[in-house]
Amino acid sequence: MEISPGNLNALALKGWIYLSAQKEDLQQKALGYFEAVLNEEEGGNHKHLSALLGQAKVFEKQKKYDECIEIISEITVCFPNFVQAVIEKAKIHIYNGEWD
């Protein structure tokens, strides 16, 4: 991070590290890192897979299932061969009580 502070993969990894913490404030900080990676105005990439998955996971932990499904739907459109996104989407629908 010191050598290349704008490295999107490093920022996403830092977000995943914060997301693995048990404290909610650190998980919220993880969301900030994922959003920084996805922010194109500041040199980010709105299709960064790891950051999109991390952002969806933050919303899942916060029980904001609608936002989570929206992000996972975006992943399935951008990366149609990424089967894990379909599995995550099905899991979130079950958590949300949408059995259909």
Q: 16-66 pLDDT, tens per residue?
A: 999 998 888 888 899 999 999 999 888 888 999 999 999 999 999 999 999
pLDDT tens digit sequence for 59-79:
999 999 999 999 999 999 999
Alpha-carbon span 45 to 42, nearest angstrom: 9
Angle between helices 83-95 and 65-78 (to 10 degrees): 160
Q: Which residues contact 74 (CB under 8 A, 6 or more apart)?
A: 52
Residue 19 class from Cβ within 10 Å (0-12 exposed, 13-18 middle, 19+ buried)?
A: buried
Q: Which amino acid is at 81?
A: N
Nearest to 49 by CA among 92, 91, 80, 17: 80
pTM given for the model? 0.87
> Domains in the chain and their CATH numbers?
8-95 (1.25.40)
| Cα dihedral across residues 13, 27, 71, 92: positive or negative | positive
Q: Do 29 and 68 touch, CB atoms closer than 8 A?
A: no
39 Cβ neighbours under 8 A, 6+ residues apart: 46
